Amino acid sequence: MAKGSKKQPSPTPGYVLSEVLELRRLIDLHNHHYHTLDDPKIPDADFDSLLRRLELLETEWGLSVSDSPSLDVGGSVSEKFSAIAHSLPMLSLDKIFDFNDLYSFEDGVKNRLGTDYSSVYSCEPKIDGIAISLLYQGGELVRAATRGNGVIGEDVTHNIRTISNIPKKLKSFNKSALLEVRGEIYLGKSDFALLNARNLANFEKTFVNPRNTAAGAIRQLDSDLTKELPLQFFCYGIGQTKNIRFPHSLTDVFAQLREYGFPINERQRICTGSEQIIKYCEKLQQDRESLDYEIDGVVLKLDDLSLQNRLGVRARSPRWAVAYKFPAEEKTTIVLGVDFQIGRTGAITPVARLQPIFVGGATISNTTLHNMAEIARLGLCVGDKVLVRRAGDVIPKIVSVIEPAGPESRKEIRMPSTCPACGAGLELSGEILYRCSAGSACTAQLKESIRHFSSRNALNIDGLGDKLISQLVDAELIKEAADLFGLDYFELIKLERMGEKSARKILLAIDKSRDVTLSRFLFALGIREVGETTAASLANYFQNLDELLSASSRSLEEIEDVGPIVASNIVSFFSDHGNLQMIEKLKQHGVRLTHSSIPSARENPSFLNKIFVVTGTLSSMKREELKGKVLGLGAKVSGSISKSTDYLVAGDGAGSKLAKAESLGIKVLNELEFIELITPSNSGEN
């Protein structure tokens, strides 16, 4: 957009953009903790809640982007294991939470299939376990892989071979055939209870829940440790096959797999139409507690395989299957206390410490209270007996006070007068939000700001996790983000559990991050309400940090995605002497801002506000890199095809999006054509 031109008002409120960016950050963080660090921080249902909220906002406000975690199937693949490419992606399932959603799902299937629709579904319990792919050649188990990110998994064959009910050699199997079987690894409830009882007797740490225990066991490097746990397996389907013939219905496929020796869930049933499905779901929910494995819902799949093939798949889920999640579970417990947590921007959030309860398949020991207004609404005090609700569609929350504590033990909850982390004074921001006034002088804010600075979509410093950041700050080795680039090897190895190899790896990752695009750099700075999209718009418009540093609020408001409040935050940030000193310190430590060779929107306005969608697997670049190139043109990235889409970039395995783009007459580009389109000699519309 040329300077001086009138900017069209954005239809999306700033608070919606802020929530979407925060949801993406949280989902990426929890994916990393669960899939890469084997250290999940929240229960599975809580993660579902975050994901569902993100999907809702992206759909309602048209904020879908190609690299949104709402389109991810799993997490990143750990470097501890060899990577395995799935010949057919291991997709996730869309989730429904009530029977009205079930009717809508069935109507959607019927509308797509028309007169050929057969409402026969294979129904089975949704095991709360770990998805696995088993590959057999000539009847021999040759490889086992985790789902990973859905496209690439981890080779865990050594651990899977320790599971007794997974056949290592198939019965009556064609020696020239290849078969991939997919299923769920789980730890039975009775075995989990015995495991924890044994650990308690030996004064060892107990496990939180069966699923996390199974996940950790599968991703052990030492298979002897995995062997100590009585893990089990249920088969739920097949992947690639060769020189083998299967029946035309999923139920008959299960029967054939059972003959080969695979365990099939005994609760698998055929249901015709919504009413039978509802009865099945209600019956299974009634029997849930009597089962010796954790379930959190029902998986529904069209039984006819030919109809499955006709419906096809989306980016992360099939159209022919859905997971019905059971309604919220509620339990009562006691509020033991309230802690106040400090975020990156200084916002203070009350968090209730609860007497631990096992509800909805997970142990809950704390939950957010959001703000003091929520505490007042509940009439909550420390010591009260409360009702806690947990399910896939809500974050665990205190619903109500069931029984107030007696006067002698009931304690009023008050916002502290000073920051609990650093002792600085608090400021009221708006009507209900309190912030610590110390800024980066507050150790809690400093740790959060460094975590943000080093995160994947900022400087992407691999291996710099929360624990290490806390160690560095507590040891006063870093007092601001710029100090990361001055870390000394000999100081690092003095830290607890920091070996020579780990220290070298961290320093190498930090050094690798010195070259960073202006867009990522601006996002990393953590300017209030400047997310990835706004950072990209700023970088595209100014192309130079010095030019941005001297920009006025008025000139900033001419930029797409920048309103008066965001403009004021940017000017305020770059007017702060401490922030300017840190930027200068980063430059002195060799941080270099790189610029793309792609023409900017000011140099070539042809792409301004054009909408790109990407589908399939790219070979020459990552999706994140392609997104950066698109944003650098002044264009936008969307996650879905519509009449307003201008270009579809189609990689290998492009499916439904490609078909829809062709039907709408949208320009389709392969990777080479995309690169040719955006190069200076060819840029412009075709």
* Cβ(362)–Cβ(390) below 8 Å: yes
Is the domain of 46 the same as that of 108? Answer: no
642-654 residue pLDDT tens: 888 999 998 766 6
Which region among 255-264, 421-430, 507-516, 573-582 has the lowest average model confidence (pLDDT)? Answer: 421-430
- Residue 164: CATH number of its domain: 3.30.470.30
622 catalytic per annotation: no
Is the domain of 421 the same as that of 469? Answer: no
- Residue 580: CATH number of its domain: 1.10.150.20
Integer angstrom CA distances of residue 504 from 462, 471, 487, 509:
12, 17, 11, 9
Task: Judge whether 209 lies within some domain.
Answer: yes
Q: Given 302, 325, 348, which residue is the final one in a domain?
A: 325
Q: What is the pLDDT, as a whole number, of residue 185? A: 96
Q: Given 283, 302, 325, which residue is the final one in a domain?
A: 325
The pLDDT of residue 65 is above 80:
no
Q: What is the pLDDT, as a whole number, of residue 431? A: 76
Q: What is the pLDDT, as a whole number, of residue 655? A: 65
Is the domain of 44 the same as that of 118? Answer: no
The residue annotated as part of the active site, out of 95, 110, 126, 331, is: 126
- Residue 426: CATH number of its domain: 2.40.50.140
* Arithmetic mean of pLDDT, 10-34: 75
Task: Judge whether 3 lies within some domain.
Answer: no
Residue 598 carries which DSSP code? S
Task: Judge whether 19 lies within some domain.
Answer: yes
Which region among 18-22, 344-348, 510-514, 664-668 has the lowest average model confidence (pLDDT)? Answer: 18-22
Task: Judge whether 413 lies within some domain.
Answer: yes
The pLDDT of residue 598 is above 60:
no
Task: Judge whether 600 lies within some domain.
Answer: no
174-215 residue pLDDT tens: 889 999 999 999 999 899 888 888 887 877 777 767 888 898
Is the domain of 271 the same as that of 182? Answer: yes
- Residue 59: CATH number of its domain: 1.10.287.610
Is the domain of 450 the same as that of 562? Answer: yes
Is the domain of 392 the same as that of 455? Answer: no
d(CA 111, CA 473): 58
Mean pLDDT of all residues in the chain? 84
Is the domain of 252 the same as that of 105? Answer: yes
d(CA 376, CA 388): 17
Which of residues 203 and 227 earns the better pLDDT score?
227
The pLDDT of residue 438 is above 50:
yes
Q: What is the pLDDT, as a whole number, of residue 10? A: 43
Q: Given 410, 433, 456, which residue is the final one in a domain?
A: 433
DSSP string, 512-577: HTTEEEHHHHHHHTT-TT--HHHHHHHHHHH-SHHHHHT--HHHHTTSTT--HHHHHHHHHHHH-H
Residue 160 corresponds to which tokens in the numbers above? 């899977």
608-649 residue pLDDT tens: 778 888 887 776 666 766 777 787 677 788 777 888 899 999
Task: Judge whether 191 lies within some domain.
Answer: yes
Domain that holds residue 614: 605-678
pLDDT bin (cut points 50, 70, 90) of residue 683 is very low
* Arithmetic mean of pLDDT, 509-522: 91
Q: Which residues of 588-603 are buried (b: 16+ CB within 10 A; e: fewer)?
A: eeebebeebebbbbee
Which of residues 232 and 41 earns the better pLDDT score?
232
DSSP string, 101-130: HHHHHHHHHHHHHGGG---EEEEEEEESSE
Task: Judge whether 672 lies within some domain.
Answer: yes
73-131 residue pLDDT tens: 555 555 567 889 999 999 989 888 889 889 989 988 998 898 778 899 999 999 989 99
| Domain count along the chain | 5
Q: What is the pLDDT, as a whole number, of residue 137? A: 94
Is the domain of 39 the same as that of 179? Answer: no
Is the domain of 248 the same as that of 394? Answer: no
* Arithmetic mean of pLDDT, 439-467: 89
Q: What is the pLDDT, as a whole number, of residue 656? A: 67
